[in-house]
Amino acid sequence: MGIQDMMQTGRSGMIAAKAGISTTGHNIANANTEGYSRQRVHQQTNDPVTSPDHRSFVGRGVNVSRIDRVNDGYLEKQIRRGSMDLAELEEKDLGLTQIEDIFNELHGDGLNRIISKFFNQFRSLSNDPDNESLRQAVREASQSVINDFKRLRTDVIDVQNHLDNRIEGYVQDVNRLAKEIRDLNVRIADYESRAEPANDLMDHRDIKIKELSDLIETRVRYDKKNMVSVDLKGGGPLVSTVLNYELSVKRTGSDDEGKSTGTYDIFSNVSSPGKLTHSLQGGKLGGTLNVRDRSLNTVLSRLDEMAFNIAKTVNEIHRQGVTRNGVKGVNFFKEPVQVHRASEYLKLSDEVMSNVNFIATAATKDAPGDNRIAIAISGLQDMKLMNDGKSSFDEWYNGIVADVGMAKSHNTEGINQQKNIVGQLNKMREQISGVSIDEETMDLMKYQHAFDASARVISVADQMLETVLNIKKL
Amino acid sequence: MRITHNSNHDLVQNSILQSKGRMEKLQREGSSLKKINTPSDDPVAAAKILQMRTEKENNISFRDTAKLAEAYLGNSDNALSQMTDLLIRAKEIAIGQSSGASSNEGTRFGISEEVSQLFKQAISIANTRVAGRYIFGGYKTNSPPVNDKGNYQGDDGEMMVEIAKDVFINMNVPGLEAFNSQPRSSKDYREGQVEGRIFEDRGPAGVDADGNQDIEFQPRSEYEAIQGPQNANVFQELQRLRTGLLTGDLDSIRSTLDQFDQLIDKVNAVRSQIGSRLQGIESTSAAMDRHEITNAQLTQNLEDADLTQVMADMANEETVLRSTMSVSQRLLQPTLMDFIK
């Protein structure tokens, strides 16, 4: 063990302290970096040498064995899962809020009020069936009903289009992330092959995977070379180590799983048919698809059904009546052909449109005071004509409003719960992987002292050497 | 346990956001004075509110209808009360002139003029209008129900109107019913002016068990019951009295007496029917008023915010927010850095 060796020992301490200070600095610098896991320097002692008398070993300082990131893989997975659910709920909230706005008539007019007006106008007409202005009022009220059905439908379709745009954007995001994950895979494998842990790149990749799982439910697998493969749940592979696949959207017709005509289908280029629209789940993409193909579609078909039944039942009675010009068998609304899109095609019949005298109020000819048809039509208001004879029009429509509200409030509750869960998980992650400034400050002092002390060792060794060199002069 | 400044920050941020979120909700309640602003605030209550709003809207319409029916029936009653007076006068004339002792050609001639006037008056009563509509014409509301010869031109249509949910009343009395003691055996009925339809069918459309609409009008037993062979008609009897006076046919004059009695009874019966309908309207309206008050209270309970509660909650929330902020300031401020040179 020579004096030079002592200098080396001091140097190794300085190097280790420097690594410590660098890492501490890196931690502090990244304290606010999303997804950053704090890093820790692992030091170990160098192999000792035997003392000159061969009786004991003398230490030869320290080396930095590796720099690790402090990270719990299982927790990361839980966070991914939790924030995927949160992203899905939040995405659904967006769509549901829009639907709720459409059906919110608590502070204004809406279909509920307009339909009761419609029936009440018929009731007024039954009081005075021959009155021209009451007939006009009936036609006006019917036109309002028609317009409001159209408004609701158009608004719902607008939301659908809006969601479709989001779907397109999300699919692009998925593709971008898949490519980035694949690129990171390659770079990480490169580092790992040189036995250098790629801490920061792995953090980076973890963030990308988390971003991806915010979009869609995935399954992530790690291989021995620390490369990941990502599968879409129910949708085949997206990234398999150094390969990435692509999703695409295309406007297609409707299907019986709730997709409407002209909305996007999602395809993957993995297998030949590759249609994933109804197999993708979770995340923002899954949430959007769910709102588009479930909630919106239910609302639309319920509106259609209602418009269809109103037109159908009013016509049925109206046809039995005699108009002011003595004609029997005239339709009030244009007779609907099918339930699908009935709310869009709801219209007054050409006769009633052209002249209010074609509104039939009487059951017999030549009886201007006969109000039996008018009163029969007004009586439809309370008849259970929807839902297999279980609800009236009013109840049916209120049911839509309540369901929309229910879905929204349910979802909001879900968000609050999920936020708590994710918050808790993030807190746990912070406890493990987060950077504590206080802790780093202490580390900084610790390493600084170590650095100073190691330098001191070198200067002592230097003095010793000088002493040795000056022996002769003495 | 490791506490990092990031988790401190998250905690502070969350507490403030939560508090602000609650304040926003209170602000919305305070500014609209409603606790339900969107269906999702309380979906069940929202549906209930809409339902009650429809009821309210319907009640306005029912009220209008009830007023109209009241006017119709009131006017019918007035007209028929005039008719009773008229018939009583005719009966007095008939009594006065039915015995040879009190009647001679001269007085009979003069009095026949009065009967002519009574006849014209009866026609004008039968042709009473409310807001331009003839009230005794059945469904024929546009043309006078009785012509100048005293022939009935109307039909026997009864206008059913809804004065409360599922409560229907007929707001008119067809002249056929009011001016004949036995409508079914009347000449007007037999001669087919009215085509006998009301006796076979009437009433609002029903829905059968399959849910199909189907206008099957129910037979009217009320009319069936009043069947009888001998009919007396207001206009015919007045004419008969007049002819009897002009020709000096005392038997004929005497024979009208019984008929006038029948007619007076009939008109009074119709009037009492009208009276009970009017009473029905009144009690229905009263019930509707009570119902409406209950409804209004219920709606209020469901959707109106309790202002005091909102204010108290707001004050409370403000305190929470302030204390959150001041605590946060202390939590976030110091780091170890501050204490090292």
Tokens standing for residue B42: 């309380």
- Interchain CB distance below 8 Å, A104 and B38: yes
Q: Which two tokens stand for residue A127?
A: 């009081």
Residue A414: the pLDDT is 93
**Do the chains contact at B205 and A370, CB–CB below 8 Å?**
no
Predicted local distance difference test score (pLDDT) of residue B110: 87
Cβ pairs bridging A and B (under 8 Å): 219
Share of chain A above pLDDT 90, in %: 41
Report domain extents, chain A.
Answer: 3-70+438-469, 78-421
At residue A17 the predicted structure's pLDDT band, cuts being 50, 70 and 90, is very high
Kindly state the percentage of chain B with pLDDT values over 90. Answer: 28
**Mean pLDDT confidence for B203-207:** 38
pLDDT-based confidence at residue B186 (cuts at 50, 70, 90): confident
- What is chain A's length? 474
Residues of chain A in contact with residue B5, where contact means CB-CB under 8 angstroms, are 31, 435-438
Tell whether the model's pLDDT for residue B94 goes beyond 50.
Answer: yes
Structure tokens at A458: 């070198």
Domain boundaries, chain B: 8-48+299-333, 60-289
pLDDT number for residue B116:
92
* pLDDT above 70 as % of chain A: 99
State yes or no: pLDDT of A240 exceeds 50: yes
For A171-190, the pLDDT digits (tens) are 999 999 999 999 999 998 88
Q: With an 8 Å Cβ cutoff, are B172 and A376 in contact?
A: no
- pLDDT value at position B38? 87
3-state secondary structure of A243: strand
Measured between alpha carbons, how far is residue A338 from residues A102, A262, A308, A397, A400 in Å?
Answer: 24, 19, 7, 19, 21
Asked if the model's pLDDT at residue B219 lies above 70, the reply is no
For position B198, what pLDDT does the model report? Answer: 40
Check if B41 contacts A (Cβ < 8 Å): yes
Nearest CA in chain A to B131: A128
Mean of the pLDDT values across residues B126-152? 89
Q: Name the closest residue on chain A to residue B47, using Cα atoms.
A: A398
- Chain B neighbors of A408, CB-CB under 8 A: 38-40
- The reported pLDDT for the residue numbered A226 is 81
Check CB contact under 8 Å for B10 and A117. no
Half-sphere exposure of A21 (CA within 13 A, CB side): 14
Which token pair is A347? 């219209």
Q: Which of B15, B50, B141, B142 would you mutate first to test chain A, the one with the most A CBs within 10 A?
A: B50
Whether B224 shows a pLDDT value over 80: the answer reads: no
Instruction: State the burial class of residue A318 (Cβ atoms within 10 Å of its Cβ: 0-12, 13-18, 19+).
Output: buried
Q: Two tokens at A376?
A: 């029969």
Q: What is the CATH class of B60-289?
A: mainly alpha
Write down the mean pLDDT value for chain A: 88
A90, A167, A230, B241 from A284: Cα distances, Å: 8, 9, 17, 94
Whether the Cβ atoms of residue B50 and residue A393 lie closer than 8 Å to each other = no
Chain B residues touching A362 at Cβ < 8 A: 139
Q: How long is chain B?
A: 341
Q: Which of B10, B215, B340 sits opposite A320 (nearest CB)?
A: B215
ipTM of this complex: 0.77
Name residue A321's beta-bridge partners.
none
Q: How many CB atoms lie within 10 A of CB A48?
A: 13
List all residues of chain A from 183 to 222 with a beta carbon under 8 Å from chain B. Answer: none
- CA B84 to chain CA centroid, Å, is 27
**Chain B nearest CA to A125, separation (Å):** 10
Nearest chain A residue (CA) to B195: A364
Does the pLDDT value for residue B326 go beyond 60? yes
Q: What is the pLDDT of residue A474?
A: 62
Answer whether residue A442 shows pLDDT above 50.
yes
Place of tokens 């063990």: A1
Confidence of residue A293 (pLDDT cuts 50, 70, 90): confident
Q: Helices marked H in B168-220 — which ranges? A: 175-178, 187-190, 197-200
> In this predicted structure, what is the pLDDT of residue B341?
65
Of A123, A401, A438, the CB nearest to B65: A123
Mean pLDDT of the region A316-326 = 89
Exposed, middle or buried by CB within 10 Å (0-12, 13-18, 19+), for B248?
Answer: middle
Task: With a cut of 90, say whether residue A234 has pLDDT above it.
Answer: no
According to DSSP, the residues that pair with A328 across neighbouring strands are A322
Whether residue B201 is predicted with pLDDT greater than 60 in this model: the reply is no
- Chain B residues closer than 8 Å to A316 by CB: 212-213
Q: What confidence category does residue B275 fall into, taking pLDDT thresholds of 50, 70 and 90?
A: very high
**What would the pLDDT profile of B233-251 be if each residue is shown by its tens digit?**
899 999 999 998 888 888 8
Query: What's residue B202's pLDDT?
Result: 36
pLDDT of B192 reads: 53
The pLDDT value given to residue B210 = 42
The reported pLDDT for the residue numbered A272 is 58
Mean per-residue pLDDT, B158-186: 86
Residue A55: CB atoms within 10 A of its CB come to 7
**pLDDT tens, A410-433?**
999 999 999 999 988 988 988 899
Q: What is the pLDDT of residue B215?
A: 40
A198 band by pLDDT with thresholds 50, 70 and 90: confident
Q: In this predicted structure, which of A87-91, B211-215, B309-313 has the lowest mean pLDDT?
A: B211-215
Coil/strand/helix, residue A148: helix
As a whole number, the mean pLDDT across chain B is: 83
Answer whether A243 touches B (CB < 8 Å). Answer: no
Read off the pLDDT of each residue in A250-265 and give the average, rounded to a whole number.
81
Q: How would you write A31-79 as a 3-class SS string?
A: CCCCCCCCEEEEEEECCCEECCCCCCEECCCEEEEEEEECCCHHHHHHH
Amino acid identity for residue A98 in this structure: Q
Chain A residues closer than 8 Å to B21 by CB: none
Q: Average pLDDT in the A391-410 region?
A: 91
Contacts of B58 in chain A (CB under 8 A): 116, 119-120, 123, 381
Residue B106 scores a pLDDT above 50:
yes
Side chain identity at residue A369, one-letter code: G
* CB within 8 Å: A434 and B166: no
Is there a contact between A93 and A415 (Cβ–Cβ < 8 Å)? yes
Would the CB atoms of A106 and B64 count as touching at under 8 Å? no
Q: Does the beta-carbon distance from A362 to B139 stay under 8 Å? A: yes
Query: Is residue B39 a contact partner of residue A408, using CB atoms and an 8 Å limit?
Result: yes
For residue B258, count other CB atoms closer than 10 A to its CB. 14
